[in-house]
């Protein structure tokens, strides 16, 4: 075959593989809503299209590290051996600073190269880095290194990876929008639950009141009919309790990471206030920065202390304060002797609060006296 003609056919075949790979990626982005798997595909395709031994896609967390760093061409063993994820410094950081791609035949010669790699890091010289830009903002980068066959990456590679980066930008943006709308619907869902709770529990309690009144009226005239009414009282009360428990449980856990301790606490107090009619005053003076585990413990302690104050204290006023690393729940109710014999036998709630405090690396004190109310105080280590 005429050499020129052969080149054309070869080019055409290459082009068609390239287009197939590209169109596969685009279709995958459209079909797949799981952003990580879309990005994984993009990285694989980038490696394939660029003819690189290794490829990666990094999304910075804004604090000097990568929130995710998805690789292709690296075995799990190699990743394991290299140790922790790279940080967004040196050459990896360069693509996050400026929207310009970086193409070099030897990264180790670049002034931004820090001069060393972790022990198990493979030798890398040829390098292509392309930023992922969405609406003028650099949200990540695609990296290729070690051109197969020992050559360098080309302008053509850079152009192709640029295309993939544009698709990666769409996938990441979509995922973020999706996440935001999910958060919004969680908030809506919670508000709906609180409303439902209020409506259904109020209705049931109203039923309890009516049935109890009928039972009272019937008591002397028709003991049997009074019994039927009392049975209704008991059923309705049980239903109300179950409903309350279910909804409070639903309102509780998932939101903590999304909404933060202060908001979840505020919602919990709001629900209790509506359901019990009890005055509860919540003030958050300073929101502490806590790990999710720690925040969960603080929330559970607050919930138990509140539930005790509501059930046992007969208080006119309950105060909840979250001030930095200190949480207090105070009531002006009947008080009790925390070490007293009546409490000693059954103090599951008090004990679990103490255990949670210890788990969160803090300490719990319960100050209470008959007639003088109760204060539960949680101090976390700063």
Ligand X SMILES: Nc1ncnc2c1ncn2[C@@H]1O[C@H](COP(=O)(O)OP(=O)(O)O)[C@@H](O)[C@H]1O
Q: Point out which residues pair with 56 in neighbouring strands.
A: 71, 143
349 binds Mg ion (CB under 5 A): yes
Among 331, 356, 377, 380, binds ligand X (CB under 6 A): 331
The answer to whether residue 308 forms part of the interface with Mg ion (CB under 5 A) is yes
Instruction: Report the nearest approach of ligand X to the CB of residue 47 (Å).
Output: 58
Size of the site for ligand X (CB under 6 A): 16
Q: Which does 309 bind (CB under 5 to 8 A by kind): ligand X, Mg ion, none?
A: ligand X
Q: Which of 348, 371, 381, 382 binds ligand X (CB under 6 A)?
A: 348
Helices and strands, counts by H and E, the chain: 11, 10
| Residue 313 interface partner, choices ligand X, Mg ion, none, CB cut-off 5-8 Å depending on type | ligand X
| Binding range to ligand X, per CB under 6 A, among 155-163, 172-180, 267-275, 334-342 | 334-342
Please name the residue that has the structure tokens 């952003």: 35
Least Å distance, CB 303 to ligand X, is: 11
Q: Which residues contact 7 (CB under 8 A, 6 or more apart)?
A: none
User: CA 26, CA 347: separation in Å to the nearest integer?
Assistant: 60
Select from ligand X, Mg ion, none the partner in contact with residue 170, using the beta carbon and a kind-dependent cut-off of 5 to 8 Å. none
Burial class (CB in 10 A: 0-12, 13-18, 19+), 247: buried
Is the separation of the CB atoms in 370 and 332 below 8 Å?
no
Q: Which is nearer to ligand X, 100 or 355 (CB)?
A: 355
Q: Which of 174, 349, 367, 379 binds ligand X (CB under 6 A)?
A: 349
| Closest CB 232 distance from Mg ion, rounded Å | 28
| CB-nearer residue toward ligand X: 111 or 341 | 341
Q: Which helix (H) or strand (E) holds 139?
A: strand 137-147
Scored b (16 or more CB within 10 A) or e, 2-38 reads eeeeeeeeeeeeeeeebeebbeebeebbeeeeebeeb
Contact residues for ligand X, defined by CB under 6 A: 308-309, 312-313, 331, 333-336, 343, 346-350, 374
Contact residues for Mg ion, defined by CB under 5 A: 308, 349
């Amino acid at each position: 075959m005429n050499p020129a003609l052969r080149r054309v056919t070869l080019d055409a075949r290459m082009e068609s593989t390239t287009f197939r790979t590209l169109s596969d990626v685009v279709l995958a982005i459209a079909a797949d809503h799981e952003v990580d798997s879309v990005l994984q595909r993009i990285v694989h395709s980038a490696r394939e299209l660029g003819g690189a031994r290794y490829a990666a896609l990094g999304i910075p967390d804004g604090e000097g590290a990568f929130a995710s760093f998805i690789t292709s061409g690296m075995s799990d063993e190699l990743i394991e051996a290299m140790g922790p994820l790279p940080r967004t410094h040196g050459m990896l950081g360069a693509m996050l600073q400026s929207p310009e791609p970086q193409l070099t035949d030897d990264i180790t010669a670049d002034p931004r190269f820090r001069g060393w790699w972790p022990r198990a890091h493979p030798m890398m010289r040829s390098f292509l880095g392309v930023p992922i830009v969405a609406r003028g903002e650099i949200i990540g980068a695609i990296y290729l290194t070690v051109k197969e066959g020992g050559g360098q990456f080309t302008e053509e590679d850079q152009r192709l990876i640029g295309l993939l980066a544009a698709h990666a930008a769409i996938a990441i943006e979509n995922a973020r929008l999706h996440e935001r709308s999910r958060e919004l619907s969680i908030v809506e869902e919670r508000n709906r639950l609180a409303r439902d709770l209020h409506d259904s529990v109020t209705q049931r309690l109203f039923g309890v009141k009516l049935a109890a009144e009928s039972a009272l009226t019937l008591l002397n005239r028709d003991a049997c009919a009074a019994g039927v009414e009392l049975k209704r009282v008991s059923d309705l009360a049980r239903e109300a309790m179950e409903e309350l428990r279910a909804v409070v449980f639903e309102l509780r856990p998932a939101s903590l990471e999304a909404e933060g301790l202060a908001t979840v606490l505020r919602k919990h107090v709001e629900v209790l206030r509506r359901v019990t009619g009890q005055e509860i005053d919540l003030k958050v003076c300073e929101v502490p920065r806590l790990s999710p585990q720690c925040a969960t413990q603080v929330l559970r302690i607050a919930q138990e202390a509140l539930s005790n104050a509501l059930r046992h204290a007969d208080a006119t006023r309950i105060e909840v304060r979250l001030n930095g690393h200190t949480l207090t729940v105070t009531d002006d109710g009947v008080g009790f002797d925390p070490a007293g014999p009546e409490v000693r036998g059954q103090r599951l709630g008090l004990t679990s609060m103490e255990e949670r405090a210890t788990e969160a690396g803090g300490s719990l004190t319960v100050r209470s006296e008959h007639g003088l109310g109760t204060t539960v105080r949680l101090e976390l280590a700063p």
